[in-house]
Structure 1
C-alpha cells in the first residue's frame, strides 16, 4: 500500500482552505455580482392621435317589418280634424216641420224651374194648394163643384199643409198648366208624414183658372 507524498498533500489541503475562506468572506459581506447595465434605447412612444370616425346617423324608430327583414320607421299618424264646412241651409231635412219648407221650395225651384211668368206661376201654385187641401181634408170643396162632383171624402187627412209647389205649362193649348206639390199631413190612422207628392191640373176658362181632372 502506498501513501501520497507529504508535500503534495499539504498543498492540496492549503488550496481547499483558501477556497472555503473566500466563500465565507463573500457571504458575510452580502454582496453578489450584479447584472451588467442594459444600455439599449427605450422603445419610441407613438404620439400620432388615433383616427377619428364620423358619428353614425341616428337610426329611425323601428316600424313594421319589411319583406327583407329590415324595418321602416312608423309614419306620423294623421290627426283627424273636424270639418268646418257648414251644412247648406237649403237642404231639406225630413221632420223639420214648417221651418224646413223653404229648403224644399228652393230645391224644387232648382231641379224643375217654372217656365211660366213669375206672377202666373205664383197664382197657380197658390190655387193648386187650396185645391189640394180641399181634396185631402174636404174643406173648401164647395168652391169648385164641377171638380168635386159630390163625391164624399171617406178617409180625410188632417193637419195638411203644402210644403212646396212649382207650376209648368202643360202642353198645348197654352191655357193649361200642371202644378207639382210637396205636402205633409196625417192620415185617418194618425200617421203623420211629410214629403208626400201630388199634382193638380189647371185650365184657363174665361180668364179664370179652374182645376180639371
Structure 2
C-alpha cells in the first residue's frame, strides 16, 4: 500500500523539491541513461511497495499525525538534491537539505536519543536485523520474518528528529537507500518513526509507537 501525502503544505513542498531536483538533473550529459524516479517507503506501509515523493520538508506518513499543528515548513528549499545514484558522496547534501527544510525544534539530548532509536528501528524494519530489541514495535521477535531489503545494500542517507505538534510527541524522519528482494536498488526513500514521551520518577523516556 502506498501512502499519499494528505497535507497541502507537504504537496507544495514536494513540488518545490521535485522542481529543484529536476534542475540538478539537467546537468547530466545528453544521452546518459537517467535513473528511475525516487521511491518512498513509510514505516507503517509495506517496505517493498514504495511511494514516489523525494525527501524534503515535513513528513506526514507513518502513523496518524497529531491534530495539533507541527513545525512550519519553509517557503523554499535550502539546497538542491543530488542526482539519483550519486552514492555516499551525495548523502551530506541530502542531510543539509533536510535540516534546511525543517529546522531543529527539540533539545539536543532528546534529538540524539530519538535519532539513535530511529536509525535502529529503520534498520530492523527494512533488513530484519535487531528486531528483538523492539518487541513493543515488532511483536514476537521469535517469529521468522523475511527481510524486505538486503543488509549489505542498506544505507541511511540522512536523518532528523523533530516535534510532532507537541513537546511530548516527536517524529524521526529518515532518508535511505536499499536493494529490495527483487534486486531493485533505490535511494532517497523516506520513512517516519513516531514516538511519545512519558515521565516516570522524574525521568523522561521516548517510546516508539507500534505499527497499526
TM-score with structure 2 setting the length: 0.53
- d(CA) in 1 for partners of 2:95 and 2:144? 31
Is 2:205 aligned against 1:211? Answer: no
Aligned equivalent of 2:86, options 71, 81, 96 = 96
- d(CA) in 2 for partners of 1:105 and 1:119? 19
Aligned equivalent of 1:109, options 73, 78, 99 = 99
Count residues in correspondence: 125
Aligned to 2:161: 167
| 1:165 to 1:144, Cα distance in 2 relative to 1, 3 A | same
Task: Judge conservation of contact 1:164–1:183 (CA < 8 Å) in 2.
Answer: yes
Aligned to 1:149: 139
Q: Which runs of 5+ in 1 are unaligned?
A: 1-87
Aligned equivalent of 1:139, options 118, 129, 141 = 129
Aligned equivalent of 2:171, options 169, 175, 178 = 178
Task: Judge conservation of contact 1:90–1:106 (CA < 8 Å) in 2.
Answer: no
How far 1:155 sits from its partner (Å)? Answer: 4.5
Aligned equivalent of 1:129, options 119, 132, 141 = 119
How far 1:91 sits from its partner (Å)? Answer: 4.2
| 1:165 to 1:175, Cα distance in 2 relative to 1, 3 A | same
Task: Judge conservation of contact 2:194–2:208 (CA < 8 Å) in 1.
Answer: yes
Task: Judge conservation of contact 2:98–2:158 (CA < 8 Å) in 1.
Answer: yes
Please identify the structure whose Cα radius of gyration is greater.
Answer: 1
Task: Judge conservation of contact 1:113–1:166 (CA < 8 Å) in 2.
Answer: no
Q: Which runs of 5+ in 2 are unaligned?
A: 1-77
How far 1:145 sits from its partner (Å)? Answer: 0.7
Backbone CA RMSD of aligned residues: 2.2
- Secondary structure at the residue paired with 2:173? strand
Q: What does 1:14-53 correspond to in 2, within 5 Å?
A: none
> Quick one: higher RCO (CA 8 Å, sep 6+), 1 or 2?
2
How far 1:93 sits from its partner (Å)? Answer: 2.5
- d(CA) in 2 for partners of 1:197 and 1:177? 16
TM-score with structure 1 setting the length: 0.53
Task: Judge conservation of contact 1:90–1:102 (CA < 8 Å) in 2.
Answer: no
